Amino acid sequence: MEFIPASETARIEVLDYARQQIRVYGVDLDVLPDQHSIWDSSEEFIKEAEAQGLVWSLKGFELQANNDQINFNNIFIKII
């Protein structure tokens, strides 16, 4: 089977879709209650991230991370 590279337009469309649809979820362990279930499932992790307000688009995460606007000391990240 021959590999056929995607056109530049298709590549840009895929990247734009990923930047809009992929979400980055973070959970700050410092504010997490002693009893939690974030490791049980992605849904529990997402619920806690949303409660903490730590949800970004892929592009938003990239911009904030590159501008040192996110403290990564105690934040666990999932990209979904």
Assigned token pair, 64: 């904030």
Residue 36 lies in a domain: yes
Residue-range definition of the domain harbouring residue 72: 23-79
Strand ranges across the sheet with 75-79: 55-57, 23-28, 75-79
pLDDT in tens, 3-43: 666 677 877 887 777 777 889 999 999 998 888 888 899 99
Residue 8 lies in a domain: no
Residue 3 lies in a domain: no
Q: Are 24 and 75 in contact (CB under 8 A)?
A: no
> Whole-model pTM?
0.74
Residue 59 lies in a domain: yes
Q: Give me the pLDDT at residue 11, please.
A: 77
Mean pLDDT to the nearest integer, 48-64: 93
Count the domains in the chain: 1
**What is the DSSP-derived secondary structure letter of residue 47?**
H
